[in-house]
Amino acid sequence: MDPENYDSYGGIEHAEYCFQHYASSDTCLSAFKAPLDPSTVLGGFSGNNYSEASAFIITYPVNNAIDETSKENRKAVAWEKAFIQLAKEELLPMVQSSNLTLSFSSESSLEEELKRESTADVVTIVASYLVMFAYISVALGDTPRFSSFYVSSKVLLGLSGVILVMLSVLGSVGFFSAIGVKSTLIIMEVIPFLVLAVGVDNMCILVNAVKRQPTELVLETRISNALVEVGPSITLASLSEFLAFAVGSFIPMPACRVFSMFAALAVLLDFFLQVTAFVALIVFDCLRAEDNRIDCFPCIKIPSSGGESDEGINQRSPGLLARYMKEVHAPILGLWGVKMVVVSVFLAFTVASIALSTRIEAGLEQQIVLPRDSYLQGYFDNTTEYLRVGPPLYFVVKDYNYSSESRHTNQLCSISQCDSNSLLNEISRASSIPELSYIAKPAASWLDDFLVWTSPEAFGCCRKFVNGTYCPPDDQPPCCSPDEEPCGVNGVCKDCTTCFRHSDLVNNRPSTEQFREKLPWFLNALPSADCAKGGHGAYSTSVDLNGYESGIIQASEFRTFHTPLNKQGDYVNSLRAAREFSSRMSDTLKINIFPYSVFYIFFEQYLDIWRVALINIAVALGAIFIVCLLMTSSLWSSAIILVVLVMIVIDLLGVMAILGIQLNAVSVVNLIMSIGIAVEFCVHLVHAFLVSHGNRNQRSQKALSTMGASVFSGITLTKLVGVIVLCFARSEIFVVYYFQMYLALVIIGFLHGLVFLPVILSLFGPPSRHIIIEKQQADEPSTSSNLS
């Protein structure tokens, strides 16, 4: 830290000398008088050619605290915020003026930038929902005719339905907030999207069912008949989704568990509001239309224009979508050649998706999560490009017994007389195969340095005054003042002696009492030229001295480094390798050892993310299958629904692999949500098929004609217009995990629900219930005549 020293010691030649002798030469010690490994502070070099370095790293360790509300922790966070502000406002311009680059980060930076990102795309999300609201309001109306549009449109009904959807989401959030369950960013972004998909679909189905009723019937009978027609499929779909999400709330992954809880209650509340409040709103809207009152302004009544008005009421022509489904879509899918092509293409894509899904990587790239203008983008890029060593890795040993009777000391240390398979020796061996172990170098050991510090050979280290108190090395106060030279010849430390003679030690190891007394001396000893082994600074926080007087050190750590970790897979694999190493050493040495690095808390979820995802998906599918079986009493139709849902999930995984979307909490939540939305694509069509009459082909076309338009306009088009807006988001995470995944879900769901499913039903569909009812009705007269 002194430019004059650099020149007086020999400049670049001395620096190159120190690169090789940083641990042994007095003039190479750091400003705090301890060895400084050049690989941890230099970057941009190859091999050990430190003189090629084109970057350097400065690290400020900040004291942390376990309790988040403690004063110590608040001080650390405040310091970090001030540091970031200083770096942005003063350091960065100063560095850039010298044609250098500066990147920086603090431990709280990621959290702060994520908070900023969560609000960065509020406008985009709101715009997405507004576009969907606008479409819904228009889609519920009748076929637009200029002369009666202001009466036949259902903007007010659509808006009221959307408000009911929002109330169900708010009800779910309010309930769980009241019982202390914290909401997350994922929930606030995904659940409205999910419930809107389910709710809008039900709204379209209910409104279209009412429109299909003969207008000569009284309004109450029309509403009743409509509910009889579509109520069972709405109930079946909603209960399937509710149970799928409710069972998912038992999954251990917090993000998935909390999402499932919120989604289950929101879907249930939405269902109750749909079949009660929304049905009542349909009645009011029908009364308004029949009374020729203007939509959105029901107080204003338009005079009836005679025959035109009656014609508009009594002869409702089907909408454009309904005509397309009946006259174009259904007949084309009824062609035998088309059926074979559809089945072949969909099965081929599913098989390909199974193969592709094995390529999906676990993780969440930090650059994607952050805003594109975040200062952390440059930091992560530079650490990947320049760093030649990874994050610090700590092997923590619990309940180390340092007593003379215990073998723990020799099982841990790596100096003479230590076991060949000791922890530190095994870490050193693992560092020789970094491509497998992800360990860059042997560990810094407080235990080795302490044992060397206490040995009689290190006569400048462990010393005591005549009165038995600690005596520092001769080149430190009070033995030597900064102005005094030579040091320690006739000063206050002239009578200091080494702590131990060889005869005082037991097998060259300090006894239990000696270890207990001298360990605090070592941890407070400053390193210097006379004794570089002092533990202050290097090991001040490496040993937990609470209760160590009993002969047991509750926790201590041995520090090394991971190899450079550039990709999400590297982080996950390094965590897995460190855990496997610690587990093996714990079993071998019978000592409790675990690894820790600062990034582990973020990447632990990825160790078993595939297992969690598959369990989540399997549980949701199983719950849906059981509900379908109980409500339809048809194993056949339930199995078809299950097969189509499985194919949708598999195909979505295949698209994730093609687009390079990683598996993480966000994508797992999206996959679970996709099952909920996929149910809407399937259940209504299958139920309509079950209650239709005729052969399989006729029933499949009838189901498409009655339900196809509602499903297409209620889910596909509504979601499509909302999703497209998301592509304009500023944050990469919205573009990747919401725009791309949602778009894939909508397209895959539409193709399976309205193309593949009708074909499968026409080929392998269950028998009709309508035939059974007709047979029963046909049998009744003959039975009665026989009785007479």
**Residue-wise pLDDT tens digits, 95-112:** 999 999 999 999 889 888
pLDDT for the residue 499: 93
pLDDT for the residue 428: 96
DSSP-derived letter for residue 506 is: B
pLDDT for the residue 484: 57
Cβ neighbour number for residue 780 with a 10 Å cutoff = 10
pLDDT for the residue 735: 84
With a CB cutoff of 8 Å and minimum separation 6, the contacts of 335 are none
Distance CA 452, CA 428 (A): 18
The low-confidence residues of the chain, meaning pLDDT below 50, are: 306-315, 771-788
Rg of the chain in Å (alpha carbons): 36
Alpha carbon 202 to its chain centroid, in Å, reads 30
pLDDT for the residue 149: 67
pLDDT for the residue 486: 58
Place of tokens 């036949």: 152
Cα→Cα distances 206→159, 547, 572, 686, 703, Å: 15, 70, 49, 17, 15
Nearest to 266, CA basis, from 346, 167, 362: 167
Interior angle at CA 178, CA 176 and CA 181, nearest 5 = 45
Question: Any alpha helices (H) in 556-634, and if so which ranges?
Answer: 568-589, 600-603, 609-632
pLDDT for the residue 346: 96
With a CB cutoff of 8 Å and minimum separation 6, the contacts of 723 are 128, 738, 739, 742, 743, 746
pLDDT for the residue 778: 44
Distance CA 685, CA 691 (A): 10
With a CB cutoff of 8 Å and minimum separation 6, the contacts of 321 are 708, 709, 712, 713
- Write the pLDDT tens digit of every residue in 286-299: 888 888 888 878 88
- Write the pLDDT tens digit of every residue in 322-362: 888 888 888 998 899 999 999 999 999 999 999 999 999 99
pLDDT for the residue 196: 77
pTM of the model: 0.78
Q: Indicate the average pLDDT of the chain.
A: 85
Strands (E), 430-519: 463-464, 470-471, 497-498
Whether 213 and 222 have beta carbons less than 8 Å apart is answered as yes
DSSP-derived letter for residue 567 is: S
Whether 710 and 204 have beta carbons less than 8 Å apart is answered as yes
Whether 672 and 617 have beta carbons less than 8 Å apart is answered as yes
Phi–psi pair at 507, nearest 5 degrees: 55, 45
